[in-house]
Structure 1
């Protein structure tokens, strides 16, 4: 073995070489192992990733179950001319979808240019845009920069609630599913429809969803009317609705708008000139003006909208079959279109007149409602209202008080006084509310009688501060006074009880049970008066006797029901007193009823008379359409016949007299009840009503075009200073409502109406030479009758007698013709009694029982005792021996609720 120097070196080199070869082989082996491991991990990762990817796609929402059209859309209410009145919304539902054809091309181009420039060419996913977004994410950490196409954004809004994930992993998962669904969607849906749905869905700030709502909110006009600059403003918002809100951040929006315009120019959508013009268009002045105007607009629903909502909710359940919850959700977020019957011009007239202080003689006063809830230190709770304040003031003043005050400050003072007596420093106030209301109040309903359409409505005077609040036209029940005479006494009397406008009753003191009734004028009685007089001069006694002697309270009650009055009481027990109340009684015809009646129902009842006797349930809207334009409710009018056409015509003819100036038999204190209401140039008919102490004052009437019901009064029943204001106010509203309309007459007289000359004191055929020679004047007149109802008997309420002027007694055959005088007297029949205007003209009792004692045919007439009455000198057929109808006193029955009301 060579151990020399060179040998040793060789040995070392040889050993090193062998060692290096071993290390190289080891390294190769290790590398191969590592490579195999990496490859295995890669395969595993790819497999796992693929599995996860498949799982993500598998769990993606089912495209077939997704409705890409916007849901939860605003409901729009329109007036009779198709003008938008009100938008009904709940959170997230104020969209107003529009069709693609209604969207301006500039707005389409603006969104495409700024949001998805390759929208028209990609398949739902923009690979270039996604690559750019990934690179931006790797360099900046922001992975949400321009990665989504318009199709993806639509899917994000519809399927993923806008993409509000909290974790990065959830966001990646949503992105993968979003892209997958976008590709699938574009295989089945036209890009125009995708863009339409996207523009109807997006959030555009200021609580607006979709471009139509945004256009209305920012520019006060429909999206179809936007110009280029305005289109760019809206497109600029979508990236960040708060930052780019053009109302609150106009400076930020203008920068973004100009970027939108530049992109549109670079992509060839607009020219250089259009770009410069749009950039210099200061649309932000208009935006601020519109915002100021909308800020002044009340979000409180009008009384008409309130009632439309009530009716629509009811009909969606009863006619369309929805549950209450479904109907409410549909109404406020279903994108419905409701077409109402409101005439906005007529509504403006009503609102102006109801609010005009000159239409109320009573001084402006105020009432209030109050709610206070407090929790005491010991945990107990007490609740207080205005009733507690009333008790407090009664104890303080030592007398009863009414919660009516001359100023608002006075109310606040008393509320604060009371509050200090019940709230201690240790108490916690849980809730407190004070509402002050202008008094006296009013309500109005204006209807078109031919259709039943409600054209205008007012539920109160003063500012309306809350939606769905008290509506005095529909919710408040008030005593109707003499307006009920027509509906419950005179209409059934003419229609089915054999009476006519000429049928007479004796107006005299009248007592039923323990109640004595009188007329509104309070001074004397007129004697015989007919139903026409009872209507024209609002005669309480005539109405009562018509009800009790001809109609019966039960029949009058049934007619009221047929006229659409739903608030009447057949029998009701008072829980506190145990007393039984009923509206089936004599006071029904005077409007003294248990609960009262609403203006709406009273007006619609009179509209039935105006409509030839056909009642139409009041109509607030004609149809409800769903978001696709399908009719959900076709609101066909509900009608039924209440009275014959002839009856309606006769009542209208008599109520025309109400609106003409006349006096009853020359009495200056008994005038027709409402000549103030007469509309110049148009026939006018109606009836007034004033309750005891003038707590409620009414006029309900009609022209050939409209029926109008008007009420005035205090909410808590204080007396009005006069009952005349309501008639003048009715005249002003109806005159303005009809001033642009052509002349028109009431419906033509039916063919079964005839005219007959009768005596107004008997209601029977007039006797020439007798009825026209009444000592107070001619008592004959021509009356209208339904054929078959005109009288056939001659007057029996006048008598013609021949009197000897020398003795003053009935003339005998022996009295010289030169001393004989013919006189006409009135006579009473049946149970007529009492001192009345007729009393001065009655046949004296002395004439009934004595003949002339001077001319007897005997030489000494005073000695033979002959002084018998020669009845042959009384004109035959004069009624002295005539029969009278049996008294119907036995039909009176129990007096019931004698809640009498006087009224004209």
Structure 2
């Protein structure tokens, strides 16, 4: 009986429980399989062919260089050579695996264990400190973004599911080594750099096959945030991230703690400088916008050789920063723009703002601001072309046209002044009377002919500069005075080449001058009265002296808009034309200075250093970093020399330079669109002196005009000899 008891079967109740458990497991598995199948079908039906991932599509890359062949910047994606992981040093692959996917060789494209571990760490840290995506999933995401099926900023659950499905398909199609190779050739590493080899070339100047342990840690650390951990922009943050990568390698046993410490003790300095890039970014951004007008369709990598001179650009940047930190703060001016060109139109330097990193808006090419009295240049040039003589006398009493009045704020009307005096002291009534005499259409036509493409008002307020123009337009228009009346357009692209060295575009000399629109006699007279602006008029602060202690022949025109919202100065020094604008982006008014506007100080110090550079380009490294203090001391010495040489001549001017040299707003009752700057009163002694020298108020006879022109030309030729001697190297 006892044996029979042991041979009895188990109770049916136990069988039922075991059978029921197995049955529900099978049913659950079937439903899960159906669900997964439905998800795969629903989200995977429109997945791209995995074979396409082996093809690396590349957008055209634009490399921009200066006139000497030095690289200024690049646009579009920058690619290196296609690499094979077998040729890379082991520590490059180990750094990637230790940081991005430690279980890469053990999962099937999705790592449930790694995902769960990352989830726990994020929960404990109460934030996202670790991602759960595998390298294969990151490759799938990169593929979607390259096909423009996903955007990195907008990632939903649907996108994550598609990435996971594609990751599994990639694992089924390719080996682990092939996946790593595709990933390292596709990964984005900031600054439009795609691929590990391109990143190695861009940041360290050599191929990825020669990456050191430290360099590998830097580049792999950037995968978490290419911009945030860029060694060019945020070096300290990048180095801290590299330490974390090296520690990950230590934890995985790839390297020892001593090797990690040695790598950090011998860091590599990135080859690209953000400061150097920012120095030219206003210019290079503008160059890219010009390319569609020069080449219809860019379908291949191109190299753009520009006209920019890095030494001149460096000088301009230093002088602008120095003056804006001192004079700019005094007048409450926050922004500035500068454009320097040769007589041929070649742009040597361009500054579009105080700091590109804070604001990329280019105030030299994009900002349209009221030109103020600098626009009177077109009226006077048209009048001289029409036959007026610089010494022709004209009434300076206020003039009213159709209810609109052009008066002279703080200028005591003398009855009659010469055209030269009217231009030098920017007397509003004189400019308007000339425009009435020759016709407003003639002024507008000349401005358009010389390159002013912006819309201009169709009333006489245009004469006083109520129209909004760019610094590029104004500086380009003034170039006619350096080219004997020929129209010259500023340009920055010298030629464009492809990778094989074939010239796709080259600027020709025929493009430099469109046609002759002003006679040489009128140009010589215009240069003469522009010179008077600096010697006796509103821009005496801009008077130049060469390093030889001799005064340099130069000329220009000042301009201020209503309520001091804009301040301009455009002028030439020998064969160089420089235009400068100063103001605020929000058009808030500035404060009238006691010692001259920043535009005059920048123009003078910049051109004095420019003369020194052209006289001896090899004397010093013009691009080296200099402290503001050193530059100030150098300019102080120059100022002392100038003062000692001209002390006897300028005593009276110094006593009243606040009143003489500043342009000031006209009466506030005039229309908002009217430009109302006018120069302040001159001394009674200067009034008498001017009247005694001026002829009677009538147009000069032809013979008198010829004599005057000959005398003016002889004077200009003597002054030109000096500047040609100084600038013989340009």
Residue by residue over 1:460-510, the C-alpha shift from the partner in whole angstroms, topping out at 9 and shown as x without a partner, is 5xx6674344737641412421x33332232x3444x3x16x465323454
CA contact (8 A) 2:95 2:216 kept: no
Kindly report which structure 2 residues correspond to 1:696-707, keeping only aligned pairs within 5 A, or say none: 696-707=566-577
Residue by residue over 1:74-101, the C-alpha shift from the partner in whole angstroms, topping out at 9 and shown as x without a partner, is 9766555555556768xxxxx6311359
CA RMSD of aligned residues (A): 6.4
Structure 1 residue 599 corresponds to structure 2 residue 464: no
Residue by residue over 1:671-690, the C-alpha shift from the partner in whole angstroms, topping out at 9 and shown as x without a partner, is 58547332426854322224
Kindly report which structure 2 residues correspond to 1:335-374, keeping only aligned pairs within 5 A, or say none: 341-356=307-322, 364=330
Kindly report which structure 2 residues correspond to 1:252-291, keeping only aligned pairs within 5 A, or say none: 252-254=244-246, 281-283=262-264, 286=267
- In structure 1, what is the equivalent of residue 592 of structure 2? 720
More helix as a share of residues? 2
Residue by residue over 1:518-562, the C-alpha shift from the partner in whole angstroms, topping out at 9 and shown as x without a partner, is 6986363566x4x5666566566665554443x322111100111
Partner secondary structure for residue 392 of structure 2:
strand
Structure 1 residues 284 and 760: alpha-carbon distance in aligned structure 2, compared to 1, 3 A threshold: farther
Partner secondary structure for residue 320 of structure 1:
coil
Partner secondary structure for residue 741 of structure 1:
helix
CA distance in 1, matches of 2:295, 2:193: 32
* Deviation of 1:701 (Å): 1.0
Structure 1 residues 113 and 469: alpha-carbon distance in aligned structure 2, compared to 1, 3 A threshold: closer
- In structure 2, what is the equivalent of residue 123 of structure 1? none
Partner secondary structure for residue 444 of structure 2:
helix
Unpaired runs of at least 5, structure 1: 1-54, 90-94, 117-128, 143-149, 264-274, 323-329, 366-437, 572-581, 662-669, 745-758, 772-778, 786-904
Residue by residue over 1:720-745, the C-alpha shift from the partner in whole angstroms, topping out at 9 and shown as x without a partner, is 2358443343110112233211399x
CA distance in 2, matches of 1:64, 1:182: 10
Partner secondary structure for residue 355 of structure 1:
helix
CA distance in 2, matches of 1:73, 1:357: 40
- In structure 1, what is the equivalent of residue 456 of structure 2? 569
Structure 1 residue 96 corresponds to structure 2 residue 78: yes
CA contact (8 A) 1:478 1:596 kept: yes
* Match for residue 296 of structure 2 among 320, 338, 341: 320
- In structure 2, what is the equivalent of residue 229 of structure 1? 213
Structure 1 residue 687 corresponds to structure 2 residue 568: no
CA distance in 2, matches of 1:516, 1:764: 31
CA distance in 1, matches of 2:173, 2:74: 34
Structure 1 residue 708 corresponds to structure 2 residue 581: no
Partner secondary structure for residue 455 of structure 1:
strand
CA distance in 2, matches of 1:207, 1:765: 67
CA contact (8 A) 1:359 1:729 kept: no
CA contact (8 A) 1:74 1:335 kept: yes
Work out the number of aligned pairs and report it: 548
Structure 1 residues 356 and 81: alpha-carbon distance in aligned structure 2, compared to 1, 3 A threshold: same
* Deviation of 1:456 (Å): 1.6
Please report the TM-score for the alignment, with normalisation by the length of structure 1: 0.46
* Deviation of 1:702 (Å): 1.6
CA distance in 1, matches of 2:114, 2:316: 64
- In structure 2, what is the equivalent of residue 453 of structure 1? 347
Structure 1 residues 484 and 679: alpha-carbon distance in aligned structure 2, compared to 1, 3 A threshold: farther
- In structure 2, what is the equivalent of residue 782 of structure 1? 711
Structure 1 residues 593 and 347: alpha-carbon distance in aligned structure 2, compared to 1, 3 A threshold: same
* Match for residue 56 of structure 2 among 66, 69, 76: 69
- In structure 1, what is the equivalent of residue 5 of structure 2? none
* Deviation of 1:563 (Å): 1.6
- In structure 1, what is the equivalent of residue 379 of structure 2? 488
Structure 1 residues 207 and 639: alpha-carbon distance in aligned structure 2, compared to 1, 3 A threshold: closer
CA distance in 1, matches of 2:377, 2:163: 74
- In structure 2, what is the equivalent of residue 742 of structure 1? 615
Kindly report which structure 2 residues correspond to 1:458-469, keeping only aligned pairs within 5 A, or say none: 458-459=352-353, 466-469=358-361
CA distance in 1, matches of 2:162, 2:581: 64
CA distance in 2, matches of 1:519, 1:354: 31
CA contact (8 A) 2:371 2:568 kept: no
Larger Rg: 1
- In structure 1, what is the equivalent of residue 412 of structure 2? 522
Structure 1 residues 66 and 208: alpha-carbon distance in aligned structure 2, compared to 1, 3 A threshold: closer
Please report the TM-score for the alignment, with normalisation by the length of structure 2: 0.55
* Deviation of 1:592 (Å): 1.5
* Deviation of 1:650 (Å): 1.4
CA distance in 2, matches of 1:198, 1:354: 45
CA contact (8 A) 2:532 2:555 kept: yes
Unpaired runs of at least 5, structure 2: 1-40, 98-103, 117-134, 230-236, 618-693, 715-730
* Deviation of 1:708 (Å): 0.8
CA distance in 2, matches of 1:729, 1:445: 12
CA contact (8 A) 1:445 1:600 kept: yes
Partner secondary structure for residue 566 of structure 1:
coil
* Deviation of 1:72 (Å): 7.1
* Deviation of 1:321 (Å): 6.4
Residue by residue over 1:194-247, the C-alpha shift from the partner in whole angstroms, topping out at 9 and shown as x without a partner, is 998654323669998532565489x665557955334553687699999x9974
Kindly report which structure 2 residues correspond to 1:858-873, keeping only aligned pairs within 5 A, or say none: none
CA distance in 2, matches of 1:168, 1:598: 49
Kindly report which structure 2 residues correspond to 1:168-317, keeping only aligned pairs within 5 A, or say none: 174=166, 177-178=169-170, 182=174, 199-202=184-187, 210-211=195-196, 214-215=199-200, 223=207, 228-230=212-214, 232-233=216-217, 247-250=239-242, 252-254=244-246, 281-283=262-264, 286=267, 305=281, 309=285, 312-313=288-289, 316=292
Structure 1 residue 646 corresponds to structure 2 residue 537: no
CA distance in 1, matches of 2:450, 2:406: 29
CA contact (8 A) 2:372 2:561 kept: no
